[in-house]
Amino acid sequence: MSITDSDTPYADSELVLDVLQVGPAVVVRIAGSAGMREAEQMRAALEKLADDKPPLIVLDLSSMEFICSMGLGAIIQSHLRSRHHNGQVRLVNPQPAVLDLLETTRLNKLFQIYPSVEQAVRT
């Protein structure tokens, strides 16, 4: 699955979601910027994945360059949707600026953050 905004002249506005199945887990590699314009698309995509009721959704944030509060809201929505069927959302390897944002908002208390996809899936 890919969501792109490649028509815009701003390379940093592109958001790409790559989804793969790793055992029972769904791993989503989120690359680019989850800003105010992309957040709604991301929310819809993550909720759709959660509706398939996987036991675990792993969001690989290692290539995410930016996220705003609306993007954070999209991740929280997927967490709420997943928990509805006893599923879980885990985060992987956010870049320093995104990690700082997660800590500032205290969302690092809500989500478990792992250093690698392998560890997030295996644990």
Site mask for other proteins (CB under 8 A), range 69-108, x = bound: xx-xxx-xx-xx----------------x---x--xxxx-
Tell the residue number behind the tokens 């957040």, with chain if given.
Answer: 39
Strand partners, 18: 29
Sign of CA dihedral 34, 39, 45, 47: positive
Q: Determine if 109 is a binding residue for other proteins (CB under 8 A).
A: yes
Q: Compute φ and ψ for 57, nearest 5 degrees.
A: -115, 125
Q: Which is nearer to other proteins, 19 or 70 (CB)?
A: 70
DSSP conformational letter for 27: E
Return residues touching other proteins (CB under 8 A).
8, 10, 13, 35-37, 66, 68-70, 72-74, 76-77, 79-80, 97, 101, 104-107, 109-110
